[in-house]
């Protein structure tokens, strides 16, 4: 293995000079003397076969080679910063990784909000996210493949905190034949048309949710596929309202006027694989998920 001739410290000083526009301002930003900044770059220049800086009047500018090299060096500096934060986080007890399993019906906007707040905690933990359906999310907990999960029902032997009541709405494209029928519709009316449902992603057991009485029932693997097919007028489905707010507002999807069962509510739960042994990162992510759900419900 060959040891590098230059150091990341030298590249960080070069980046500061470029960003600040002068040696003096870079020295101030780095809390160093101007002479130490100049010496570091002079030494680096001597160690490299290509010049990275050139003098233009009273200002030093990057050469074309320097632009290419500094671009690569910035990536290395970012990696080093991440490595040092990881070391600091591990020293404080933060886990290197949190495995989060989420049922696909969990609203993406709330998940994104929780993730955004989690990363601003300046922790070194990476998140491994698995999206699954019904028992698939439960199995991730039971098989030890998740540290934390958002499920529609805690599996046997696990405790959970109810975080959200998700409303499902029976909808179809406004051009669908269902809307040509008069009056309030019944389940018998629906049974003659194509229904879309999302396949349970569990391997060991399959669970059903909601009404499944249509003769032409199509099963898809992802909620987004079901939404797209219904928008295209291929059938109807009960879809989570938070996933289709824009489509309902624009008229791309329309609620079906059912006499009963047009809407149903299902709870979602936040479940720890083992709360007692959960590390600070797992607990922090759980807190952000809880906060995201509480804020959106206010």
Read off the pLDDT of each residue in 59-80 and give the average, rounded to a whole number. 86
Whether the pTM exceeds 0.75: the reply is no
DSSP classification of residue 279: -
256-289: per-residue pLDDT in tens? Answer: 998 888 898 989 999 998 888 888 899 999 999 9
Rg over CA atoms, the chain: 28
Is-contact 243 57, C-beta < 8 A? no
Which residue in 298, 270, 297 sits closest to 286, CA to CA?
270
Cβ-based neighbour number of residue 100 at 10 Å = 24
Task: Give the SS3 label for residue 273.
Answer: coil
* Residue-range domains of the chain with CATH: 8-91 (1.10.10.10), 164-267 (3.40.190.290)
Max intra-chain CA distance, the chain: 86
Tens-place pLDDT, residues 9-18: 988 888 888 8
- The chain-wide mean pLDDT, for the chain, equals 84
- Is the pLDDT reported for residue 162 higher than 90? yes
pLDDT above 60: residue 202: no
* CB-CB neighbours of 190 under 10 Å: 22
SS (HEC) of 63-79:
CHHHHHHHHHHHHHHHH
Q: How confident is the model at residue 222 (pLDDT cuts 50, 70, 90)?
A: confident
Q: Give pLDDT tens digits for 23-43.
A: 888 889 889 998 998 898 888
Of the candidates 99, 90, 100, 76, the residue with the CA atom closest to the CA atom of residue 124:
90
Band (53; pLDDT cuts 50, 70, 90): confident
HSE-up of residue 210 (Cα within 13 Å, Cβ side): 27
pLDDT at 207 over 60: no
């Amino acid at each position: 293995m060959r040891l590098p001739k230059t150091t990341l410290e030298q590249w960080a000083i070069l980046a500061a000079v470029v960003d600040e526009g002068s040696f003096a301002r870079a020295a101030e930003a780095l809390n160093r003397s101007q002479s130490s900044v100049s010496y570091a770059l002079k030494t680096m220049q001597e160690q490299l076969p290509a010049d990275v800086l050139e003098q233009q009047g009273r200002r030093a500018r990057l050469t074309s080679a320097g632009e290419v090299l500094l671009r690569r060096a910035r990536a290395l500096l970012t990696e080093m910063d991440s490595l040092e934060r990881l070391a600091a986080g591990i020293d404080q007890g933060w886990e290197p990784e949190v495995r989060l399993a989420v049922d696909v019906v969990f609203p993406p906007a709330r998940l994104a909000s929780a993730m955004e707040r989690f990363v601003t905690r300046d922790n070194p933990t990476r998140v491994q996210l698995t999206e699954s359906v019904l028992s698939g999310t439960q199995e991730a907990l039971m098989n030890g493949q998740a540290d934390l999960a958002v499920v529609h029902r805690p599996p046997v032997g696990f405790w959970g905190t109810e975080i959200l009541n998700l409303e499902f709405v029976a909808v179809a494209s406004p051009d669908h034949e269902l809307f040509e029928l008069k009056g309030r519709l019944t389940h018998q009316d629906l049974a003659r048309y194509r229904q879309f449902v999302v396949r349970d992603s569990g391997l060991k057991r399959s669970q059903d949710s909601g009404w499944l009485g249509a003769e032409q029932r199509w099963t898809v693997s992802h909620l987004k596929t079901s939404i797209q097919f219904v928008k295209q007028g291929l059938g109807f489905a009960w879809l989570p309202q938070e996933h289709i707010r824009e489509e309902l507002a624009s008229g791309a999807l329309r609620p079906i006027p059912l006499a009963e069962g047009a809407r149903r509510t299902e709870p979602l739960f936040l479940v720890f694989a083992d709360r007692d042994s959960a590390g600070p990162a797992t607990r922090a992510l759980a807190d952000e998920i809880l906060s995201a759900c509480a804020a959106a419900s206010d």
